[in-house]
Amino acid sequence: MTVEELVKEPASWLDGSGPMSSVVLSSRVRLARNLKAYSFTNRSQDSELAKILDQFSRVVKESTFLRKGMLVHIGKLKKLERDFLVERHLISPDLAKGDKNQGLYVGDREAVSVMINEEDHIRLQAMRSGLQLREAWQIVDRIDDELSKHMDYAFSDQYGYLTACPTNVGTGLRASVLIHLPALVLTKDINEILQGIGQVGLAVRGFYGEGTEVLGNLFQMSNRTTLGRSEEDIVDDIEQATRKIIDYEENARKTLLTDARPQIEDKIWRAFGILKTARVLSSQELMSLISAVRLGVGLKMIQSISIASLNHLIMLLQPAHLQKWFNKKMDAGERDIRRAELVREKLTTLSGYAEDDGQPRQGGSLR
Protein backbone atom coordinates (compact mmCIF):
# COMPACT_ATOMS: atom_id res chain seq x y z
CA MET A 1 0.00 0.00 0.00
CA THR A 2 1.21 3.55 -0.73
CA VAL A 3 -0.14 7.04 -0.09
CA GLU A 4 -0.89 7.21 -3.83
CA GLU A 5 -3.19 4.22 -3.62
CA LEU A 6 -5.29 5.87 -0.91
CA VAL A 7 -6.35 8.54 -3.42
CA LYS A 8 -8.35 6.15 -5.58
CA GLU A 9 -9.77 3.95 -2.83
CA PRO A 10 -12.32 5.53 -0.46
CA ALA A 11 -11.83 4.82 3.24
CA SER A 12 -14.08 2.04 4.57
CA TRP A 13 -15.55 4.30 7.25
CA LEU A 14 -17.13 6.52 4.57
CA ASP A 15 -19.17 3.76 3.00
CA GLY A 16 -22.47 4.70 4.64
CA SER A 17 -23.09 1.11 5.70
CA GLY A 18 -23.16 1.72 9.46
CA PRO A 19 -26.24 2.41 11.62
CA MET A 20 -27.70 5.94 11.52
CA SER A 21 -25.54 6.78 8.51
CA SER A 22 -27.98 9.40 7.28
CA VAL A 23 -27.04 11.55 10.29
CA VAL A 24 -23.76 10.12 11.58
CA LEU A 25 -20.91 9.94 9.08
CA SER A 26 -18.50 8.07 11.25
CA SER A 27 -17.45 6.96 14.72
CA ARG A 28 -13.91 7.13 15.95
CA VAL A 29 -12.16 5.92 19.07
CA ARG A 30 -8.54 6.72 19.76
CA LEU A 31 -6.18 5.78 22.54
CA ALA A 32 -3.18 7.85 23.63
CA ARG A 33 -0.24 5.79 24.85
CA ASN A 34 3.32 6.58 25.79
CA LEU A 35 6.37 4.37 26.27
CA LYS A 36 7.75 4.31 29.79
CA ALA A 37 11.37 4.38 28.61
CA TYR A 38 11.15 7.73 26.80
CA SER A 39 10.26 11.36 27.57
CA PHE A 40 7.04 12.73 26.15
CA THR A 41 7.50 13.92 22.58
CA ASN A 42 7.63 17.64 23.46
CA ARG A 43 10.72 16.96 25.61
CA SER A 44 12.44 14.18 23.74
CA GLN A 45 15.43 14.27 21.42
CA ASP A 46 14.89 13.27 17.83
CA SER A 47 17.12 10.24 18.50
CA GLU A 48 14.60 9.05 21.08
CA LEU A 49 11.72 9.58 18.63
CA ALA A 50 13.65 7.54 16.08
CA LYS A 51 13.91 4.68 18.54
CA ILE A 52 10.19 4.82 19.30
CA LEU A 53 9.33 4.83 15.62
CA ASP A 54 11.73 1.97 15.05
CA GLN A 55 10.28 -0.05 17.90
CA PHE A 56 6.76 0.53 16.65
CA SER A 57 7.69 -0.54 13.14
CA ARG A 58 9.03 -3.82 14.49
CA VAL A 59 5.88 -4.36 16.56
CA VAL A 60 3.74 -3.81 13.46
CA LYS A 61 5.51 -6.61 11.61
CA GLU A 62 4.72 -9.05 14.40
CA SER A 63 1.15 -7.83 15.00
CA THR A 64 -1.85 -9.96 14.06
CA PHE A 65 -3.96 -6.87 13.44
CA LEU A 66 -1.50 -4.41 11.93
CA ARG A 67 0.56 -6.65 9.71
CA LYS A 68 -1.26 -5.71 6.50
CA GLY A 69 -0.94 -1.95 6.67
CA MET A 70 1.72 0.56 5.70
CA LEU A 71 4.02 2.64 7.83
CA VAL A 72 4.84 6.10 6.55
CA HIS A 73 7.70 8.31 7.72
CA ILE A 74 6.12 11.77 7.91
CA GLY A 75 9.46 13.52 7.44
CA LYS A 76 9.79 11.93 4.03
CA LEU A 77 6.47 13.26 2.76
CA LYS A 78 5.99 16.37 0.69
CA LYS A 79 3.69 19.15 1.87
CA LEU A 80 0.89 18.04 -0.45
CA GLU A 81 0.97 14.47 0.84
CA ARG A 82 0.84 15.68 4.42
CA ASP A 83 -2.14 17.90 3.64
CA PHE A 84 -3.75 14.93 1.93
CA LEU A 85 -3.38 12.81 5.06
CA VAL A 86 -4.88 15.56 7.23
CA GLU A 87 -7.87 15.80 4.90
CA ARG A 88 -8.18 12.04 5.16
CA HIS A 89 -8.44 12.33 8.96
CA LEU A 90 -5.37 10.08 9.26
CA ILE A 91 -3.04 12.63 10.84
CA SER A 92 -3.57 15.81 12.84
CA PRO A 93 -2.61 19.23 11.46
CA ASP A 94 0.10 19.22 14.13
CA LEU A 95 1.65 15.98 12.95
CA ALA A 96 1.55 17.28 9.39
CA LYS A 97 4.08 19.92 10.43
CA GLY A 98 6.38 17.26 11.81
CA ASP A 99 10.05 17.50 10.84
CA LYS A 100 11.36 14.83 13.23
CA ASN A 101 10.97 11.08 13.46
CA GLN A 102 7.21 11.00 13.27
CA GLY A 103 5.23 8.29 11.62
CA LEU A 104 1.82 7.17 10.49
CA TYR A 105 0.57 3.65 10.30
CA VAL A 106 -2.48 3.02 8.07
CA GLY A 107 -4.33 -0.29 8.20
CA ASP A 108 -6.47 -1.95 5.58
CA ARG A 109 -8.93 0.54 4.05
CA GLU A 110 -8.08 3.01 6.83
CA ALA A 111 -10.24 1.31 9.44
CA VAL A 112 -7.31 1.54 11.85
CA SER A 113 -4.46 4.01 11.95
CA VAL A 114 -1.71 5.03 14.36
CA MET A 115 0.11 8.33 14.67
CA ILE A 116 3.61 7.82 16.08
CA ASN A 117 5.27 10.67 17.95
CA GLU A 118 2.50 13.18 17.66
CA GLU A 119 1.64 14.73 21.07
CA ASP A 120 1.91 11.22 22.52
CA HIS A 121 4.19 8.42 21.41
CA ILE A 122 1.28 6.37 20.18
CA ARG A 123 -2.13 7.56 19.04
CA LEU A 124 -4.09 4.52 17.95
CA GLN A 125 -7.46 5.10 16.25
CA ALA A 126 -10.25 3.02 14.78
CA MET A 127 -12.86 4.54 12.46
CA ARG A 128 -16.23 2.97 11.63
CA SER A 129 -19.09 3.96 9.38
CA GLY A 130 -22.17 5.49 11.06
CA LEU A 131 -22.79 5.18 14.79
CA GLN A 132 -20.51 2.31 15.85
CA LEU A 133 -18.58 3.65 18.79
CA ARG A 134 -18.65 0.38 20.69
CA GLU A 135 -17.37 -1.52 17.69
CA ALA A 136 -14.61 1.06 17.22
CA TRP A 137 -13.75 0.76 20.91
CA GLN A 138 -13.55 -3.03 20.69
CA ILE A 139 -11.15 -2.78 17.77
CA VAL A 140 -8.73 -0.36 19.42
CA ASP A 141 -9.03 -2.28 22.70
CA ARG A 142 -7.98 -5.52 21.02
CA ILE A 143 -5.07 -3.89 19.20
CA ASP A 144 -4.03 -2.03 22.34
CA ASP A 145 -3.93 -5.33 24.24
CA GLU A 146 -1.67 -6.78 21.63
CA LEU A 147 0.61 -3.70 21.46
CA SER A 148 0.97 -3.63 25.23
CA LYS A 149 2.59 -7.08 25.10
CA HIS A 150 5.37 -5.66 22.93
CA MET A 151 5.70 -2.15 24.37
CA ASP A 152 6.05 -1.02 27.93
CA TYR A 153 3.44 1.75 28.43
CA ALA A 154 3.74 4.62 30.88
CA PHE A 155 1.04 3.73 33.39
CA SER A 156 0.28 4.87 36.93
CA ASP A 157 -1.84 2.77 39.29
CA GLN A 158 -3.31 5.98 40.61
CA TYR A 159 -3.97 7.89 37.35
CA GLY A 160 -4.00 5.24 34.66
CA TYR A 161 -2.23 5.82 31.35
CA LEU A 162 0.06 8.84 31.44
CA THR A 163 -0.09 11.28 28.58
CA ALA A 164 1.64 14.48 27.45
CA CYS A 165 -1.48 16.55 28.08
CA PRO A 166 -3.37 16.08 31.39
CA THR A 167 -6.72 16.03 29.56
CA ASN A 168 -5.81 12.62 28.17
CA VAL A 169 -4.54 11.06 31.39
CA GLY A 170 -6.47 8.03 32.64
CA THR A 171 -7.94 6.00 29.86
CA GLY A 172 -6.20 8.04 27.16
CA LEU A 173 -9.41 7.53 25.27
CA ARG A 174 -11.21 9.91 23.03
CA ALA A 175 -14.41 8.76 21.39
CA SER A 176 -15.98 10.97 18.76
CA VAL A 177 -18.65 11.02 16.11
CA LEU A 178 -18.76 13.10 12.95
CA ILE A 179 -22.39 14.10 12.86
CA HIS A 180 -24.38 15.93 10.19
CA LEU A 181 -26.90 18.38 11.64
CA PRO A 182 -28.31 20.47 8.77
CA ALA A 183 -31.86 20.66 10.13
CA LEU A 184 -30.76 21.85 13.58
CA VAL A 185 -28.69 24.52 11.85
CA LEU A 186 -31.67 25.57 9.70
CA THR A 187 -34.08 25.74 12.65
CA LYS A 188 -31.34 27.59 14.57
CA ASP A 189 -31.70 25.13 17.47
CA ILE A 190 -28.08 24.14 17.02
CA ASN A 191 -26.65 26.66 19.50
CA GLU A 192 -28.86 25.42 22.31
CA ILE A 193 -27.93 21.83 21.47
CA LEU A 194 -24.23 22.66 21.44
CA GLN A 195 -24.54 24.37 24.82
CA GLY A 196 -26.29 21.30 26.20
CA ILE A 197 -23.51 19.10 24.85
CA GLY A 198 -20.95 21.29 26.60
CA GLN A 199 -22.83 21.02 29.90
CA VAL A 200 -22.72 17.21 29.91
CA GLY A 201 -18.96 17.32 29.51
CA LEU A 202 -18.69 16.77 25.78
CA ALA A 203 -16.75 18.90 23.34
CA VAL A 204 -17.70 19.96 19.82
CA ARG A 205 -15.05 20.51 17.20
CA GLY A 206 -14.77 21.35 13.52
CA PHE A 207 -14.36 19.11 10.53
CA TYR A 208 -10.61 18.59 10.93
CA GLY A 209 -10.68 18.33 14.75
CA GLU A 210 -9.71 20.74 17.52
CA GLY A 211 -9.54 24.39 16.52
CA THR A 212 -10.86 23.81 13.00
CA GLU A 213 -13.94 25.22 11.32
CA VAL A 214 -17.34 23.55 11.02
CA LEU A 215 -17.90 22.80 7.33
CA GLY A 216 -21.07 21.54 5.69
CA ASN A 217 -22.91 21.34 9.02
CA LEU A 218 -20.61 18.50 10.07
CA PHE A 219 -19.83 18.55 13.79
CA GLN A 220 -17.27 16.46 15.61
CA MET A 221 -18.50 15.59 19.06
CA SER A 222 -16.25 13.92 21.63
CA ASN A 223 -15.65 13.37 25.35
CA ARG A 224 -13.68 16.00 27.20
CA THR A 225 -12.38 13.99 30.16
CA THR A 226 -10.73 10.62 30.13
CA LEU A 227 -10.11 10.17 33.81
CA GLY A 228 -12.12 8.43 36.55
CA ARG A 229 -14.45 6.43 34.35
CA SER A 230 -14.09 3.18 32.47
CA GLU A 231 -13.56 3.16 28.72
CA GLU A 232 -16.94 1.48 28.24
CA ASP A 233 -18.69 4.20 30.24
CA ILE A 234 -17.05 6.99 28.25
CA VAL A 235 -18.00 5.34 24.98
CA ASP A 236 -21.54 4.74 26.24
CA ASP A 237 -21.88 8.41 27.24
CA ILE A 238 -21.02 9.61 23.75
CA GLU A 239 -23.23 6.98 22.20
CA GLN A 240 -26.18 8.06 24.41
CA ALA A 241 -25.58 11.75 23.72
CA THR A 242 -25.30 11.03 19.99
CA ARG A 243 -28.59 9.15 19.99
CA LYS A 244 -30.28 12.11 21.68
CA ILE A 245 -28.87 14.53 19.13
CA ILE A 246 -29.93 12.25 16.29
CA ASP A 247 -33.45 12.44 17.76
CA TYR A 248 -33.28 16.23 17.89
CA GLU A 249 -32.02 16.35 14.32
CA GLU A 250 -34.72 14.01 13.09
CA ASN A 251 -37.40 16.02 14.86
CA ALA A 252 -36.00 19.21 13.37
CA ARG A 253 -36.19 17.59 9.92
CA LYS A 254 -39.83 16.71 10.50
CA THR A 255 -40.58 20.23 11.72
CA LEU A 256 -38.95 21.74 8.66
CA LEU A 257 -40.99 19.54 6.34
CA THR A 258 -44.20 20.44 8.16
CA ASP A 259 -43.54 24.17 8.41
CA ALA A 260 -41.58 24.97 5.27
CA ARG A 261 -41.59 22.05 2.88
CA PRO A 262 -41.31 24.08 -0.35
CA GLN A 263 -38.40 26.10 1.02
CA ILE A 264 -36.59 22.96 2.18
CA GLU A 265 -37.21 21.17 -1.10
CA ASP A 266 -36.02 24.30 -2.87
CA LYS A 267 -32.81 24.43 -0.86
CA ILE A 268 -32.09 20.76 -1.45
CA TRP A 269 -32.88 20.62 -5.16
CA ARG A 270 -31.08 23.85 -5.95
CA ALA A 271 -28.00 22.51 -4.21
CA PHE A 272 -28.20 19.38 -6.36
CA GLY A 273 -28.74 21.49 -9.46
CA ILE A 274 -25.78 23.72 -8.68
CA LEU A 275 -23.49 20.76 -7.99
CA LYS A 276 -24.41 19.34 -11.38
CA THR A 277 -23.87 22.57 -13.28
CA ALA A 278 -21.37 24.82 -11.49
CA ARG A 279 -18.06 25.56 -13.21
CA VAL A 280 -16.38 27.09 -10.16
CA LEU A 281 -16.80 25.64 -6.67
CA SER A 282 -14.93 26.54 -3.49
CA SER A 283 -14.38 23.91 -0.79
CA GLN A 284 -16.67 25.75 1.54
CA GLU A 285 -19.54 26.11 -0.91
CA LEU A 286 -19.13 22.51 -1.97
CA MET A 287 -19.48 21.34 1.61
CA SER A 288 -22.59 23.40 2.10
CA LEU A 289 -24.16 22.13 -1.14
CA ILE A 290 -23.33 18.52 -0.31
CA SER A 291 -24.80 19.11 3.13
CA ALA A 292 -28.12 20.11 1.54
CA VAL A 293 -28.09 17.16 -0.86
CA ARG A 294 -27.20 14.80 2.00
CA LEU A 295 -30.25 16.13 3.84
CA GLY A 296 -32.29 15.47 0.71
CA VAL A 297 -31.09 11.88 0.57
CA GLY A 298 -31.84 11.47 4.28
CA LEU A 299 -35.37 12.78 3.66
CA LYS A 300 -35.69 10.42 0.69
CA MET A 301 -36.31 13.36 -1.67
CA ILE A 302 -33.25 12.50 -3.73
CA GLN A 303 -32.99 8.85 -4.68
CA SER A 304 -30.41 8.92 -7.43
CA ILE A 305 -27.37 9.25 -5.20
CA SER A 306 -26.28 7.38 -2.08
CA ILE A 307 -24.99 8.60 1.27
CA ALA A 308 -21.80 6.67 0.53
CA SER A 309 -21.25 8.59 -2.71
CA LEU A 310 -21.77 11.91 -0.94
CA ASN A 311 -19.36 10.92 1.83
CA HIS A 312 -16.79 9.99 -0.78
CA LEU A 313 -17.29 13.30 -2.58
CA ILE A 314 -16.75 15.23 0.66
CA MET A 315 -13.41 13.49 0.98
CA LEU A 316 -12.38 13.53 -2.67
CA LEU A 317 -13.09 17.21 -3.33
CA GLN A 318 -10.84 18.61 -0.62
CA PRO A 319 -7.91 20.73 -1.84
CA ALA A 320 -5.06 18.22 -1.43
CA HIS A 321 -7.23 15.32 -2.59
CA LEU A 322 -8.09 17.19 -5.76
CA GLN A 323 -4.43 17.81 -6.50
CA LYS A 324 -3.57 14.18 -5.87
CA TRP A 325 -6.51 13.11 -8.07
CA PHE A 326 -5.46 15.29 -10.99
CA ASN A 327 -1.80 14.66 -10.12
CA LYS A 328 -1.03 18.35 -10.40
CA LYS A 329 -0.18 21.22 -8.09
CA MET A 330 -2.96 23.80 -8.34
CA ASP A 331 -3.71 27.18 -6.78
CA ALA A 332 -7.10 27.84 -5.23
CA GLY A 333 -8.55 29.33 -8.44
CA GLU A 334 -7.62 26.30 -10.52
CA ARG A 335 -8.79 23.92 -7.79
CA ASP A 336 -12.21 25.56 -7.73
CA ILE A 337 -12.55 24.92 -11.46
CA ARG A 338 -11.29 21.34 -11.23
CA ARG A 339 -13.48 20.67 -8.21
CA ALA A 340 -16.55 21.72 -10.18
CA GLU A 341 -15.37 19.59 -13.11
CA LEU A 342 -14.85 16.50 -10.95
CA VAL A 343 -18.13 16.83 -9.10
CA ARG A 344 -19.99 17.15 -12.41
CA GLU A 345 -18.20 14.10 -13.75
CA LYS A 346 -18.98 12.08 -10.64
CA LEU A 347 -22.63 13.13 -10.46
CA THR A 348 -23.08 12.53 -14.17
CA THR A 349 -21.75 9.00 -13.85
CA LEU A 350 -23.88 8.43 -10.79
CA SER A 351 -27.18 9.77 -12.01
CA GLY A 352 -26.76 8.55 -15.56
CA TYR A 353 -26.95 11.74 -17.61
CA ALA A 354 -25.09 14.96 -18.23
CA GLU A 355 -26.41 18.45 -17.80
CA ASP A 356 -25.03 19.85 -21.01
CA ASP A 357 -26.58 17.81 -23.72
CA GLY A 358 -29.42 15.82 -22.21
CA GLN A 359 -27.90 12.56 -23.43
CA PRO A 360 -28.32 9.57 -21.11
CA ARG A 361 -25.02 8.01 -20.03
CA GLN A 362 -23.92 4.65 -18.66
CA GLY A 363 -24.70 4.48 -14.95
CA GLY A 364 -21.93 3.73 -12.50
CA SER A 365 -20.88 3.91 -8.90
CA LEU A 366 -18.43 6.36 -7.43
CA ARG A 367 -15.84 3.80 -6.36
Question: Would you tell me which residues interact with its own copies (CB under 8 A)?
Answer: 262-263, 265-266, 269-270, 272-274, 276-280, 303-304, 337, 340, 351-353, 355-358, 360
Least distance to its own copies, CB of residue 182, Å: 16
Least distance to its own copies, CB of residue 300, Å: 12
Least distance to its own copies, CB of residue 252, Å: 19
Dihedral sign for Cα atoms in the order 21, 126, 216, 321:
negative
- Give whichever of 165 and 280 is closer to its own copies, judged by the CB atom: 280
- Give whichever of 198 and 273 is closer to its own copies, judged by the CB atom: 273
- Give whichever of 123 and 276 is closer to its own copies, judged by the CB atom: 276
Least distance to its own copies, CB of residue 181, Å: 22
Least distance to its own copies, CB of residue 266, Å: 4
Least distance to its own copies, CB of residue 87, Å: 23
Least distance to its own copies, CB of residue 88, Å: 28
- Give whichever of 194 and 256 is closer to its own copies, judged by the CB atom: 256
Least distance to its own copies, CB of residue 214, Å: 25
Least distance to its own copies, CB of residue 272, Å: 6
- Give whichever of 174 and 276 is closer to its own copies, judged by the CB atom: 276
- Give whichever of 104 and 308 is closer to its own copies, judged by the CB atom: 308
- Kindly report the backbone phi and psi dihedral angles of residue 126, in degrees, each rounded to the nearest multiple of 5, phi listed first: -120, 135
Put the strands of the sheet holding 70-73 in their side by side order. 70-73, 103-106, 112-116, 122-129, 24-33, 173-180, 218-223, 202-205
Distance of CA 92 to the CA centre of its chain: 11
Compute CA distances 364 → 21, 22, 233, 273, 349, whole Å.
22, 21, 43, 19, 5
- Give whichever of 2 and 303 is closer to its own copies, judged by the CB atom: 303
Report how far residue 125's alpha carbon sits from residue 26's, in angstroms, rounded to the nearest whole number. Answer: 12
- Give whichever of 230 and 277 is closer to its own copies, judged by the CB atom: 277
- Give whichever of 30 and 276 is closer to its own copies, judged by the CB atom: 276
- Give whichever of 303 and 327 is closer to its own copies, judged by the CB atom: 303
Least distance to its own copies, CB of residue 187, Å: 18
Return the HEC string of the chain. CCHHHHHHCCCHHHCCCCCCCCCEEEEEEEEEECECCCCCHHHCCHHHHHHHHHHHHHHHHHCCCCCCCEEEEHHHCCHHHHHHHHHCCCCCHHHHCCCCCCEEEECHHHCEEEEECCCCCEEEEEEEECCCHHHHHHHHHHHHHHHHHHCCECEECCCEECCCCHHHCECCEEEEEEEECHHHHHCCCHHHHHHHHHHCCEEEEECCECCCCCECCEEEEEECCCCCCCHHHHHHHHHHHHHHHHHHHHHHHHHHHHHHHHHHHHHHHHHHHHHHHCCCCCHHHHHHHHHHHHHHHHCCCCCCCCHHHHHHHHHHCCHHHHHHHHCCCCCHHHHHHHHHHHHHHHHHHHHCECCCCCCECCCCCCC
